[in-house]
Structure 1
Amino acid sequence: MKRYAAEFAGTFILVYLAVGSAVFGIDKIGAVGVALAFGLVLLALASGIGPISGCHLNPAVTLGMLVAGRMSPGEAGGYVVAQVLGGISGASVLKLTLSVGEITDQTKALGSNGFGVTVNSTGAFLVEALLTMTLVLTYLMVTERVALREAAAPAVGLALAAIHLVGIPLTGTSANPARSVGPALLMGGERLEQLWLFLSAPLVGGAAAAFLATAVHRIHGLGENAP
């Protein structure tokens, strides 16, 4: 239960602070600032809860761990439930903050992900899958089983920041179904209708990363002792 609580709390914080950086101030800090916010928040969380749960905070990362044989299906399912609930809670408190604080939503969409303006659905799917594959591959190469070592925290933080620099101009960057569900549910309309892509593409990317990481480990003869 401690692992699930860590995943819930971590995903809540990631959504509230990192998505909040766009909602509260993308007009001031820009896409680079938002990308750094995501990376720095994950870096801090990885250092704190990485040794407890691995600091996945993302169903795509958990799927990658499952496919790579580092988690049981039951354990992975518990992680995903905790992550999604944490993401919805974070988005809910974010919306509440906007309301009670009379704050203008700079994204006009609670930081939800979307496509159709700068990229079509095919391009968005490809981008989201590849960005997620990059992120999950980083996790798989620097983790040991499930735990995320503190020394590896900068790698995952930098990876998350980097993929946001690429994806923000196109889809707002999801690469994380738990990050996308809450804002889409609360916004409704077109953003909710497009949610399917931000659920499916990251999962495809996460599974692809697991196969790629396994292949790399086999080539280098790491086998069952792979990190």
Structure 2
Amino acid sequence: MDKAVNRTLAGVVVPDTPVVDATIDHARHHCEPYLFNHVVRSWLFAVRLGQPQAIDHDAEVLAVGTLLHDITLNESFAGPRRFEVEGADLARCFAIAHGFDTHRAQLIWDSVALNSTPSIGLYKESEVALCTAGICLDVIGLQYNAIPSGEIALIVDNFPRLDMKRRMSSCLCHIARTTPETTYDNFVRDFGERFVANYKAPSTVDFVSLAPFAE
């Protein structure tokens, strides 16, 4: 990690290093404004959630993983794998290009790939768990009461939501409509089943019963 230098962003103390600045610029370039604000809020929430318990973590890994977790969530996404995995590969390449070693880059890959799977991500390494927690707070309000309401309001004031619920739902429906095969085993399936005409996911029950074995 670069020499530890911090700054305050929307009331939260975060690392101020060249790689963090480069990541913010990269996220701003690849994300629509509402999505850019979402990834920054998620990062700030992740950092803030780790402070009460003084959770030991690599601050740059947390920044890169959280800021880049949605770079493939858009209406031009075309697969062939689920958007989190495609994004994880891009984030890992970014990290390696900026001097991260294999271990740190893999933590970033895990953070991005598992960002919408809290039943796993919250139990991984601290960087992955905090990334997952920050994202879940911003998307579904998980641990909303763990941060004082005034601090949340300051973060949202600095990085407004910009109609996020509707716009994110539109992106997820687009993925379910255009690349349904990437959604059958993840949360995008819920959007397909509720909002996309003729969307039908196969059942895991059928996969098990039709496996090519006698028993």
Q: Tell me the TM-score normalized by structure 1.
A: 0.30
Q: Which has the larger Rg?
A: 2
**Structure number with higher relative contact order (C-alpha < 8 Å, ≥ 6 residues apart):** 1
